[in-house]
Amino acid sequence: MKIVVYGMGIIGASFAAALRRAGHTVLGKNRSRGPIETALARGMIDGEAENYSGCDAVILALPPEPVLRELDEGDFPEGIVVSDICGVKKIVEERVRSKPRRYRYVGMHPMAGKETSGIASADADLFCGKNLVVTVCKETDPAALSLVKTLAADAGFGRIVCTSAEEHDKKIALTSQLAHIVSNAYIKSSFAADVSGFTGGSFQDMTRVGGVDETLWSSLYLANRLPLLGEIEGLIARLGEYAEALRAQDRERLTALLREGRLAYESHFSEK
């Protein structure tokens, strides 16, 4: 297939490299020239896309606002499959459904990445064995969905989960967005600047995603504001219970809270 990947950051360039390695013809598109030159030099793409003519599919590897703009303004050929890898899905799907479109849309969200960003961190193996969420609705074209699943398999994803855009956003608020916010807030402790020799795996786990790209992630958070607010407020309430038990020096209550957490962990994550 002939595919255009618009956005040569870590995710877009990794997609391009993986699909080209799988035998597809891949053209890159980017708002600045530098990443295109890097992608060409590293053999991630076959060339630069001047337009979408003659292509089977387009992958928009862009932040929410540019995705929405391209979905409205892009000169897509009749029937072409257009997908995006945005970390939020409801606002994108609502925009697509707001008026008749020439293209066939299927949303994607790779559950993969690194703490670093940009094409320098891109890797054709980034998605190998990873999860991919695909969003569907009653208007989703079955052939377009099949094509996206084929591309996902060719990119190396190990598991493809289909769900609604609304369900995606609710779960991502917990599994991704809240985790990034907690990490970002955690490293603001006055002690964090001088803990050399005092850190282990738990500290590394808590701080790994703290250095977020504030421009990108603030747009994602605002686009998923209500589900994320619910998760933040729920976490604050739960943390308040631990704080109150400590404040009251209530060992019994603290033990009970920790037991609840352990049992929840075992129920949700322990191997059956």
**pLDDT at residue 272 is higher than 50:** no
Domain final residue, candidates 163, 190, 210 = 163
Write down the pLDDT at residue 169: 97
Label residue 211 by pLDDT band (50, 70, 90): confident
**CATH (domain of 203):** 1.10.3660.10
Q: 102: which 2 tokens?
A: 């020439």
What is the tens place of the pLDDT at every residue in 62-111? Answer: 999 999 999 999 999 999 999 999 999 999 999 999 999 999 999 999 99
Question: What average pLDDT does the segment 158-169 reach?
Answer: 96
Residues 178/206, Cβ–Cβ less than 8 Å: no
Rounded to an integer, what distance in angstroms lies between the CA atom of residue 198 and that of residue 179?
22
What is the tens place of the pLDDT at every residue in 3-16? Answer: 999 999 999 999 99
Label residue 271 by pLDDT band (50, 70, 90): low
Same domain for 176 and 151: no
Rounded to an integer, what distance in angstroms lies between the CA atom of residue 106 and that of residue 135?
7
Same domain for 127 and 14: yes
Same domain for 185 and 83: no
Label residue 192 by pLDDT band (50, 70, 90): confident
> Of 126-135, 148-157, 183-192, which range is least confident?
183-192
Angle at 102 between CA 93 and CA 56, to 5 degrees: 95
Label residue 198 by pLDDT band (50, 70, 90): confident
Name the residue with tokens 């600047």: 193
Same domain for 88 and 134: yes
Same domain for 129 and 207: no
| DSSP-derived secondary structure for the chain | -EEEEE--SHHHHHHHHHHHHTT-EEEEE-SSHHHHHHHHHTTS-SEE-S--TT-SEEEE-S-HHHHHHHHHH--PPTT-EEEE--S--HHHHHHHHTS--SSEEEEEEEE---SS-SGGG--TTTTTT-EEEEE--TT--HHHHHHHHHHHHHHT-SEEEEE-HHHHHHHHIIIIIIHHHHHHHHTTSTTGGG-TTS--HHHHHHHTT-S--HHHHHHHHHHTHHHHHHHHHHHHHHHHHHHHHHHTT-HHHHHHHHHHHHHHHHHHHS--
Write down the pLDDT at residue 199: 87
Classify the phi-psi angles of 100: left when phi > 0, otherwise alpha if psi is within -120 to 50, otherwise beta.
Answer: beta
Rounded to an integer, what distance in angstroms lies between the CA atom of residue 144 and that of residue 139?
11
Residues with Cβ < 8 Å from 8, sequence gap 6 or more?
16, 28, 29, 30, 35, 36, 38, 39, 44, 61, 119, 122
Same domain for 146 and 196: no
Rounded to an integer, what distance in angstroms lies between the CA atom of residue 47 and that of residue 20?
11
- pLDDT above 70 covers a percentage of the chain that reads 99
Label residue 193 by pLDDT band (50, 70, 90): confident
Give the domain range for residue 96. 2-163
Domain final residue, candidates 103, 138, 163 = 163
Same domain for 125 and 18: yes
Question: What average pLDDT does the segment 208-215 reach?
Answer: 87
Total domains in the fold of the chain:
2
Write down the pLDDT at residue 51: 94
**CATH (domain of 72):** 3.40.50.720
pTM of the model: 0.89
Q: 133: which 2 tokens?
A: 């969420």
What is the tens place of the pLDDT at every residue in 214-264? Answer: 988 999 999 999 999 999 999 999 999 999 999 999 999 999 999 999 999
Label residue 163 by pLDDT band (50, 70, 90): very high
Same domain for 137 and 121: yes
CB atoms within 10 A of CB 247: 9
Residues 6/58, Cβ–Cβ less than 8 Å: yes
Same domain for 216 and 157: no
Same domain for 146 and 210: no
Same domain for 138 and 65: yes
Rounded to an integer, what distance in angstroms lies between the CA atom of residue 19 and that of residue 13?
10
Write down the pLDDT at residue 117: 75
Domain final residue, candidates 110, 142, 163 = 163
Rounded to an integer, what distance in angstroms lies between the CA atom of residue 141 and that of residue 67?
20
Same domain for 116 and 16: yes
